[in-house]
A = this chain, B = another copy of it.
Amino acid sequence: MTNSAILRVQCPDRKGLDSTLADFIFRANGNILHFEQHQVAEVGLYLARIEWDLDGFQIQPQDLARHFAPIAERLNMKWQLAFSSDRQRMALLVSKYDHCLMDLLYRWHSGELACEIPLIVSNHPDAKRHADFYGVPFFEIPVTPENKAQAERRQRELLESHGIDLIVLARYMQVLSPEFIAAYPQRIINIHHSFLPAFLGAKPHQQAFERGVKLLGATAHYVTEALDDGPIIEQDVIRISHRDSVQDLVQKGRDLEKIVLSRAVGWHLENRVLLHGNKTVVFD
């Protein structure tokens, strides 16, 4: 496995940005593995992701940020630095539907998702057996209208004490408070079981059934304060027909939700996602 550094930047577009980035790496004897850039013409924005091999690289990982900071400052860059050896710490929140949970656990266990999973939190006890099977600590925190604030406080304590980088709502059916969301900007991923912005809110399968659509969708997005309106990371659809009942949609939707969510989570963990405005750029 290659040990690499990944730099994501965004800044006002100008000439020489690619050259500046590539030079910075070349001068320290780095070998660029992937270099992707994109200009958002409407707003004059430049975004790039650059990944290079650390083998033979003459700047030590711990010194890299310090070396790059002057360049970033000069070019007015927002930037994030990561290493392929980093393993982000991902918490899974789940309610009763456990298909996304199971799917993420299996992918994690098989090495497809390079992260740690320090804990699973649920408002129901059902998922405990899966957590146990994979050896992941499980915390049941029931949520009621009465104890909601208290439950959330407990959740946030757990997430903080476990040093969580990314929260995945793997069919977690409770709405998070604005304070919770604000504490994890671009770090909470939700799976919504419709093709957003169609069928926002509750019971999207029922809505889809009633509207008579011919395709069923699923959408993975970052959670923001506006319900189901955060930046979309990934979407997909499958064909349905008049023969499908709401229950059939639920069943067919499971495969879709698993795949869409796992792609979004994978891309996030590989530091492929950049955000501008309410939109994402996902670099291949």
> Do the beta carbons of A15 and B30 come within 8 Å of each other?
yes
B residues near A211, Cβ cutoff 8 Å: 196-197, 232, 278-279
Contact of A212 among B22, B213, B236, B278 (CB under 8 A): B278
Interface class of chain A by DSSP: mixed
Stretch in A32-40, A71-79, A158-166, A176-184 with 4+ CB within 8 Å of B: A32-40
B residues near A14, Cβ cutoff 8 Å: 31
B residues near A34, Cβ cutoff 8 Å: 37
Stretch in A3-11, A149-157, A241-249 with 4+ CB within 8 Å of B: A241-249
Contact of A37 among B35, B106, B195, B245 (CB under 8 A): B35
Give the distance in Å from the alpha carbon of A199 to the alpha carbon of B34 in the complex: 30
For window 34-59 of A, CB contacts with B under 8 Å fall at 34-39, 41
B residues near A281, Cβ cutoff 8 Å: 242
Q: Give, as a whole number of angstroms, the nearest-CB distance from A106 to chain B.
A: 6
> Do the beta carbons of A235 and B255 come within 8 Å of each other?
no
For window 215-272 of A, CB contacts with B under 8 Å fall at 215, 217, 231-237, 241-243, 245, 251, 255, 259
- Taking CB as reference atom, which chain B residue is nearest A239? B239
B residues near A245, Cβ cutoff 8 Å: 41
B residues near A86, Cβ cutoff 8 Å: none
> Do the beta carbons of A213 and B232 come within 8 Å of each other?
yes
